[in-house]
Amino acid sequence: MNLLTHPHRRYNPLTGEWILVSPQRTQRPWLGQVETPPAETRPPYDPNCYLCPDNARAGGKSNPKYDHTYVFDNDFPALLSSPVENGGGEGVGVMRAESERGICRVVCFSPRHDWTLPDMPRAEVRRVVDVWIEQMREIGARDFIDYVQVFENKGAMMGASNPHPHCQIWATEHIPTEPAKELRALADYHNARGACLLCDYLAQELAAEERIVFQNDHFVVVVPFWAVWPFETLLLARRHIGALTDLRDEERNALADAIKRVTTRYDNLFHIQFPYSMGWHQSPTDGASHPEAHLHAHYYPPLLRSATIRKFIVGYEMLAEPQRDITAESAAVRLREMSETLYRASRL
């Protein structure tokens, strides 16, 4: 069977789920929704932006006149840190509920309203990496926090409520569903083989070279064999480490380099500020040993054919299993061919 031309299913060992790949559908016509590309230019400072320095935030507090990366407690948090009276589990029959405490923070990458990560110098991206690690250490040390989720929603298409460059950190009392699925698969593999699933997977990808987008001394970016989103990528640490807090100094620099390079390639693909959701999966902070965990980040971009046509997760995907048209291999080729000089760099 030719995986590049024939319909087939691919297995995701991190989740135990399958995806349908239909490469023969790439030529189908499109009369569906067409997106409006985001505005190409924004001012370096927006007096109406609640994330810009020295401005009032939506919750009433004001930002300091910050010069670099800035962190604050979310004014409208999805979780509260205070204990709930009688906060144990509740339920009747098959209906169950339990309380959940947590911490929600916002990380502004830069005071520049018009920048995103690919616009930022590597030294400034390194500051973002350092802040993630500082936040992981500080929040993860709380006795009621079992997991710290760092994630970025870039662009209105992915639900970002403000274009100012920022990400979020949600830390929870329990390990959330998606990282829990992966940790179970990683633990099963480790217990059965005495090895790391992602280390073995990375070795296969490096040998095959079909889906590698780029690599440096400490990180590899690959379109995973089981990718769902058209230009989905997986950013993998070469060394078997469990969390951002395990990174050495040279690895922090390499991570900043990898982030800058992958986000630049994304923007260059369709010459827009490319939307995506990105998040780190790493060791829980529950006090237990997790030798199975391997630090990695998922990038989930929605765009399919152009800046105006996106991939929808609907119908068959919601009711049966995920499906994609372009193969992971062809997506990797397109990303690999992209320049690492940002297309709008001359305008910055």
Query: Which tokens is 125 given?
Result: 């991206």
Query: Is residue 326 situated within a structural domain?
Result: yes
Query: Which tokens is 84 given?
Result: 């709930």
Q: What is the CATH number of the domain that holds 173?
A: 3.30.428.10
Q: Based on the structure, what is the number of domains in the chain?
A: 1
Query: Is residue 28 situated within a structural domain?
Result: no
Mean pLDDT (whole number) for 163-186? 98
Percent of the chain with pLDDT over 70: 94
Return the pLDDT at 304.
Answer: 81
Domain span at residue 68 reads 44-80+98-340
Radius of gyration over every alpha carbon of the chain, rounded to an integer in angstroms? 21
Contacts of 234 (CB under 8 A, 6+ apart): 221, 222, 223, 224, 227, 296, 297, 298, 299
Query: Is residue 20 situated within a structural domain?
Result: no
Residue 343 pLDDT greater than 80, yes or no: yes
In Å, how far from its chain's centre is CA 293?
17
Query: Is residue 18 situated within a structural domain?
Result: no
Return the pLDDT at 20.
Answer: 96
Return the pLDDT at 32.
Answer: 54
**Could you report how far apart the first and last alpha carbons of the chain are, in Å?**
48
Query: Which tokens is 193 given?
Result: 């083989």
Residue 106, strand partner residues: 72, 168
Mean pLDDT (whole number) for 85-113? 88
Which positions are catalytic? 166
Query: Is residue 345 situated within a structural domain?
Result: no
Q: How far apart are CA 53 and CA 50, in angstroms?
A: 8
Q: How far apart are CA 236 and CA 293, in angstroms?
A: 12
Contacts of 53 (CB under 8 A, 6+ apart): 45, 63, 64, 65, 66, 67, 70, 111
Return the pLDDT at 36.
Answer: 60
Query: Is residue 220 situated within a structural domain?
Result: yes
Return the pLDDT at 25.
Answer: 73
Query: Is residue 32 situated within a structural domain?
Result: no
